[in-house]
Amino acid sequence: MSLIVKKFGGSSVANAERVFNVANIIIDDYKKGNDVIVVVSAQGDTTDDLIEKAKEINPDGPSKREMDMLLASGEQISIALLAMAIEKLGCPVISLLGWQAGFNTDSHHGIARIRNINTERLKLEVSKHKIIIVAGFQGLNKYDDLTTLGRGGSDTSAVAIAAAMKADCCQIYTDVDGVYTADPRKVTNTQKLDQITYDEMLELATLGAQVLNNRSVEMAKKYNVELEVLSSLERKPGTIVKEIVKMEKTLIRGVAKDTNVTRISVIGLNDTPGVAFKLFNKLAQFKINVDIILQSVGRDGTKDITFTVPLDQGKDAITAIESIADILEYKEVVTDNSCAKVSIVGAGMESHPGVASKMFEALFDAGINIQMISTSEIKVSVLIDGKYADKAVQAVHEKFIQ
Ligand code: ADP
Ligand code: ASP
Ligand code: MG
């Protein structure tokens, strides 16, 4: 007998038929004598629809607290419906909201971090041999206010429960049957991976492969929770995410794309010590996530610094820069909201020179100009014009994966 944590994404519970399909998957494992804790997301596009509703009321963006109050309701619907389906099929079940399942988070509304899970209630319900259905993506802060964990956060809820309850396995069910070398819905000739390391998966997730939320992978690595990503529509093995995997012949494990990028150039800065410090220190104070940074070589006493930030932080970044305009004495700030970051990821590239140049060759052959480049041991990212993003991903994928 094992303790199994299963997570089902929005498309897996999008309508009544899908809810019963999921209920049957759960019951199959329960009837084999296992304890089953299930984390579920809001149905279909519910979260997007709720965001639209909020925009109708306040197009400038409502407070983050009230946004969380609204968005957390999506998961409340899906846990109740799934529990009702399991009841109807004759098994003991209970649905729990995030706070009832013991999720304590910090107070960063919209992107809260889990502080701890008080597992008392979960353990009580397990001891009663009930199937437990937990609302993903949500928790409670120390002021007893609802919080949400950021888009795609139900994955993190599932991994957190698996870690806290010392589950035997953690299965993430979705609408594809595993992790592929690129998004199988957008790129042709992608290959399914049998296994991938935490580090590679973390990079892919952070660089735009939304199949797993990056925080969930970070947590899985930290607590050594082995994950399986698999389909809720077809019963077959998926992709295992773990610490060490067997070496593959391929140099790279995947290609990812992120269009949630703004490029900001601060032009005509003084070419003196401390300028980069003052600029990035101010951005850090504004909690801006700076990604790729490029500084030009000084000429005639001035230099330019270009960097990227997530699209939704672009405005705040400009405000931050303008707040120290008199200190920085730059000539102008130029922003571009239509770029994309295309990345390749793979532990194999550490020991193989020439991987980056092969990627650049693919882009050259496709006639795509590179604006910025950034590398680490296991990834190479390039910033390009967003309108060529899909073409770039396809070209790079074809170059590396036969
Ligand atoms: P869920 O609602 O189940 O959480 P998501 O939409 O968040 O599902 O994630 C699944 C989607 O991730 C797939 O439908 C697929 O289009 C996309 N995806 C992007 N990159 C990859 C990849 N490398 N492998 C598999 N799926 C990917
Ligand atoms: N429902 C939330 C979202 O759409 C959480 C999730 O799906 O994981 O982002
Ligand atoms: Mg998801």
> Mutate which of 41, 138, 173, 175 to test ligand 2's pocket (most atoms within 8 Å of Cβ)?
41
pTM of the model: 0.94
- Residue 148 sits at φ, ψ, to 5 deg, of -125, 160
Averaged pLDDT of the chain: 96
| Ligand of minimum distance to the alpha carbon of 14 | 1
Element (H, E) at 73: helix 64-88
**Residues 79 and 72: beta-carbon distance below 8 Å:** no
Strands (E), 195-331: 195-197, 227-231, 239-242, 254-270, 293-295, 302-310
SS3 content of the chain, % helix, strand, coil (to 5): 40, 25, 35
Q: Which of 401, 343, 389, 14 is nearest to 209 (CA)?
A: 343
Which pLDDT value is given to residue 352?
A: 84
Atom of ligand 1 nearest to the CA of 254: 23
Token pair belonging to 270: 């003084």
CA 31, chain centre distance (Å):
33
Q: Which regions in the chain score pLDDT beneath 50?
A: none
From the CA of 220, how far away is ligand 1's center (Å)? Answer: 18
Which pLDDT value is given to residue 122?
A: 98
Surrounding residues of ion ligand 3, Cβ less than 5 A: 9, 152
Atom of ligand 1 nearest to the CA of 213: 7
Which pLDDT value is given to residue 220?
A: 98
Which pLDDT value is given to residue 250?
A: 73
| Ligand of minimum distance to the alpha carbon of 253 | 1
